[in-house]
Structure 1
Amino acid sequence: MTTHTWWLLLILTIAITALIYLINSRLRIHPFVALIVVAVGTGLAAGEPAAKLVESLEDGAGGTLGDVGVTLALGAMLGRLLSDSGATDALAHALIDRSSARRLPWLVTAAAFVIGIPMFFEVGLIVLLPLIFSVARRLEAQGGTKGSPYVLLGVPAIAALSTLHGMLPPHPGPLTAMTGLHADLGLTMVVGLVCAVPTVILAGPVYARWIAPRLAEVRPDEALVAQFTGASRAVREKSPVSVTAGAPNASSVDTDVTSGSRIPTGLAVTAVLVPVGLMLLRTLAETVLDETSTVGSALTFLGEPVMAMLAGLLFALGVTALGTDRTGEEVRASLTDSLKSIAAILLIIGGGGAFKQVLQDSGIGDAIAAAAKGAHLNVIVLGWLIALLLSLTTGSATVGIVSATGIIAPMVSGGGLEASLLVVAIGAGSLGLNYVNHAGFWLVKESFGMDLTQATKTQTVVQTLVSVLGLGMALLLSVFA
């Protein structure tokens, strides 16, 4: 490697260290400010021109908020409508009444696995948050759960959603890798499922059972919990519950939803499934239909995450207007209030996008790829490693997959089981070491009210487990290649 490559690697190491220090030092700098400051320092140190650096910050923040922020806002509104109607609380009751606390993480895993087929990680988590918070809140009130119920139920969702996002078509990253490596779609789907199922089980419910007691103090902000669970306004106006105060008593978790303002549970579930169904139809259109046809174009458009979430919100608004006694002013106030709780999350996600873009535009990602390419490794391990390092430096699993595919493609003859295993391995690599420059990391951290260490033990560790287990499964199946 050249001296310049080593210099860029050193800059990256210093940048990550500085970011962690700024957030955790006595100054307790807000993560958004810390991300922007470190992004500027990293770009200048790497030699990126000042004019280009400003453009990188704007493009990174704007692009990330365009991909995630609008969808997050629509998802927060949808969740608030359902929670205010008492639908998510009723669904949580139904789950708890029909299953034991030991089975609930497995039920969340199954739900996340299905939802994760057509949905990106962030979108799927947004859809699942009302259910996770509602069920966890009921478990918290009942008592008897070892550790944090939010971690117990959140970890399986993170594991399932991330696994499918990175390792299984029809997500864009795996589809791109499949095309670049000339892998067969059917074989890749089968191989991906064989690798994904044990990976999700071990990184999800199994790890959740171990880590939840060790993060017993984790509890989301009370206002955010109230928003997603339909808690009474009195609860929303209270100060956040102390993590050492124990579970709230039964009276603090009662809702004030009257029968006249409750959306039927079936319609509420339909509202959640509308975006899922539209994204799934888009997937079918992209794999079966001609995207240039009228039907294909319409399904592709409606299946875009923003459009699909908008459709779900409009459906919920229609159900609320026709099926409840809430006034338009009350509904608008709820939608406005729902955005207050996610304002900080949106800023932090934008800061993470800015940091990601600076790393990419400054050439640090290329330096990592060049260093990994010079290593003499098994091609499956090499593809996994390149995707891992590129995802770490760029903050994007998709960027890691696409770049790693371009590097590995000339080393592969194309087709067959090896190509399908490479798709899985590269996708698994793109998930590992999910840390401070990933939007998903901040979404999990802020949504569940975690500090940096707690978020590392959940989001970072879970996705790294998924990454390593996915590689292990691919290597195991490579014996038959």
Structure 2
Amino acid sequence: MTAHAWTLLIILAAAIGALVALINSRLRFHPFTALVLVSIGVGLAAGESPARITTSLEQGAGKILGNVGVTLAFGAMLGRILSDSGATDKIARLVVDRAEGRRLPWYMAAAAFVIGIPMFFEIGLIVLLPLVFSVAQRLGHTGKFNGSPYLYLAAPTIAALSTLHGMVPPHPGPLIAVQGLHAHLGLTMLVGLVCAIPTVILAGPVYGRWIAPRLAVYPDSELVAQFAYRGATSGGEGRADHAPRTQPPATGDGVVSPTRNAVPTGFAVTAVLVPVALMLLNTLAELALAKTDPLRPVLAFTGEPVIAMFAGFLVALFALGYRSGMPSEAIRASLADSLKSVAGILLIIAGGGAFNQILVDSGIGKAVQSAATGAHLNVLVLGWLVALLLSFSTGSVTVGIVAATGILAPLTATGGSLHTALLVIAIGAGSIGLNYVNHAGFWLVKESFGMTLGQATKSHTAIQTIVSVCGLAMPLLLSNLT
């Protein structure tokens, strides 16, 4: 470690402190503007010329948006079609309608796991709330469960959605890490799913069964009536105890929507799994087919994240959107609205790409590599810890992932290896932990289920932290076995 390397590490520490301060201070900088401002400051402090700093900002932001931004946009539109067409409700009810008693949390976790593949945490939770409330209400009326049935079913839902959101592509966070660390996408997905299953089980049904009898969590009755009523099926035992619906459901602006065609179960499941299947097929082709096989370039093309997500979007658009009877103008307006919700995320991703590029061009990345090598730190633990601290202090999972990726990128000389894929998962897991009052998801869960601050900490924050710890333990275990 040279004196210059130590200086660069001090600049990095100051940059992280400045980033946290700007986002959390009274100024309340948007993470995008904070990232850009800190990036410029880092470049200047490291001795970069203004022209070089400008080039780094443009290249870093443009590169990450080109690889992740378009995929994220298609993912947002896919999620909206699945929700508006009723496909997600169809999948969820298919999974849980026949479940009873002790099996309910496991089925709920399975439903959230499938729905969580293309959907962000907050969106997936909102989509699943009607199902959680209606099934919890049904369970509560049986008198056979001692505790809060709402928390009993919320725990596996939160665990599954958060695990997929942070650890498994094609979610934007893991995709950013895949791109920045040059990891193999298909391998990362396979390993991510392997790590996700035991993580969801422990943080969801297992912890949920333990915590539900210990917290008196009961949402506001009017909110339960609204969601359970909207989510109830006609004539099934999942129906809420309310008067029969006498008119079609109203849209968000109070206008009654036209009657829609029922969504075939096969179409609903296919639309969710198309992107994942295409990306995994590409991985299997690389392992099983010869390089000269004419099928390989076709599967390589369809397995690219942007193409796979676009294909899933088109399947959903025609098989679910137009087929459901939704007017074309309503579909277009809904898709446009879905893009508004991810605009802020896109900007944060761009700012993170700029920050990462500055770290590389200024030589800070190499200084981190030298320090980590000299200290003999486990790279998986280091990536997890950096993402955990940044996510907790900034209130943004995305900021945690993009900053940790930039810091750890110099340590992954073997891009595309299993170890690189495990590092992606460890960083994603770190970004999930300690989800507290500065995270939007914390308040969404707290208010939706009528929790006190203490109840939300013991349930939501604890679940997310269990996911985070297990999300680190699994990569460490797999790393030692290989």
Taking a change above 3 Å as real, the CA distance of residues 371 and 276 of structure 1, as seen in their structure-2 partners, is: same
CA distance in 2, matches of 1:468, 1:44: 39
3-state SS of the aligned residue for 2:74?
helix
**Is 2:92–2:112's contact at 8 Å kept on the other side of the alignment?**
no
Give 2:141's aligned residue: none
Give 2:396's aligned residue: none
Give 2:471's aligned residue: 466
1:340 aligns with 2:340: yes
Match of 2:132 among 134, 139, 154: 139
CA distance in 2, matches of 1:38, 1:211: 41
TM-superposed deviation, 1:342: 1.9
Give 1:406's aligned residue: 413
Match of 2:225 among 237, 245, 250: 250
Single out whichever of 95-104 and 324-333 deviates more from structure 2: 95-104
C-alpha distance after superposition, 1:357-391 (max 9, x if no partner): 2223222221111112123x5xxx64545666898
TM-superposed deviation, 1:268: 1.8
TM-superposed deviation, 1:211: 9.2
Give 2:235's aligned residue: none
Q: Which amino acid aligns with 2:476?
A: L
- Alpha carbon RMSD of aligned pairs, Å? 5.0
**Is 2:159–2:204's contact at 8 Å kept on the other side of the alignment?**
yes
Q: Which amino acid aligns with 2:297?
A: S
| Residue segments in structure 2 that go unaligned for 5+ positions in a row | 138-147, 171-176, 231-248, 251-256, 391-399, 446-455
The correspondence of residues 58-457 of structure 1 with structure 2, limited to 5 A, is 58-99=58-99, 106-107=106-107, 124-126=117-119, 132-140=125-133, 142=136, 144-145=148-149, 152-159=156-163, 198=198, 201-202=201-202, 206=206, 248-251=223-226, 254=230, 255-256=249-250, 259-291=259-291, 293-320=293-320, 323-375=323-375, 377=376, 382-384=378-380, 395=402, 403-406=410-413, 430-431=427-428, 433-434=430-431
Give 1:235's aligned residue: none
Give 2:244's aligned residue: none
Equivalenced residue count is 414
**Is 1:112–1:161's contact at 8 Å kept on the other side of the alignment?**
no
3-state SS of the aligned residue for 1:260?
coil
Taking a change above 3 Å as real, the CA distance of residues 205 and 19 of structure 1, as seen in their structure-2 partners, is: farther
**Is 1:11–1:42's contact at 8 Å kept on the other side of the alignment?**
yes
Give 1:225's aligned residue: none
* TM-score, normalization by structure 1: 0.67
TM-superposed deviation, 1:96: 3.8
CA distance in 2, matches of 1:134, 1:198: 24
**Is 1:39–1:354's contact at 8 Å kept on the other side of the alignment?**
yes
CA distance in 2, matches of 1:307, 1:190: 19
Taking a change above 3 Å as real, the CA distance of residues 275 and 163 of structure 1, as seen in their structure-2 partners, is: closer
TM-superposed deviation, 1:158: 3.5
**Is 1:92–1:138's contact at 8 Å kept on the other side of the alignment?**
yes
Taking a change above 3 Å as real, the CA distance of residues 299 and 100 of structure 1, as seen in their structure-2 partners, is: same
Q: Which amino acid aligns with 2:13?
A: T
Taking a change above 3 Å as real, the CA distance of residues 320 and 307 of structure 1, as seen in their structure-2 partners, is: same
**Is 2:207–2:463's contact at 8 Å kept on the other side of the alignment?**
no
The correspondence of residues 7-26 of structure 1 with structure 2, limited to 5 A, is 7-26=7-26
3-state SS of the aligned residue for 2:431?
coil
Q: Which amino acid aligns with 2:298?
A: A
CA distance in 2, matches of 1:149, 1:273: 24
C-alpha distance after superposition, 1:77-128 (max 9, x if no partner): 122222222222233333342336875664465578789xxxxxxx945388
**Is 1:108–1:157's contact at 8 Å kept on the other side of the alignment?**
no
Taking a change above 3 Å as real, the CA distance of residues 164 and 103 of structure 1, as seen in their structure-2 partners, is: farther
CA distance in 2, matches of 1:322, 1:140: 29
| Residue segments in structure 1 that go unaligned for 5+ positions in a row | 116-122, 179-184, 218-243, 409-418
CA distance in 2, matches of 1:8, 1:247: 56
CA distance in 2, matches of 1:10, 1:151: 41
CA distance in 2, matches of 1:58, 1:215: 50
**Is 1:156–1:200's contact at 8 Å kept on the other side of the alignment?**
yes
Taking a change above 3 Å as real, the CA distance of residues 3 and 445 of structure 1, as seen in their structure-2 partners, is: same
TM-superposed deviation, 1:156: 2.7
Taking a change above 3 Å as real, the CA distance of residues 25 and 473 of structure 1, as seen in their structure-2 partners, is: same
Q: Which amino acid aligns with 1:33?
A: T
3-state SS of the aligned residue for 1:372?
helix
* TM-score, normalization by structure 2: 0.67
CA distance in 2, matches of 1:189, 1:307: 16
The percentage of counterpart residues that share the same residue type is 45
CA distance in 2, matches of 1:25, 1:189: 37
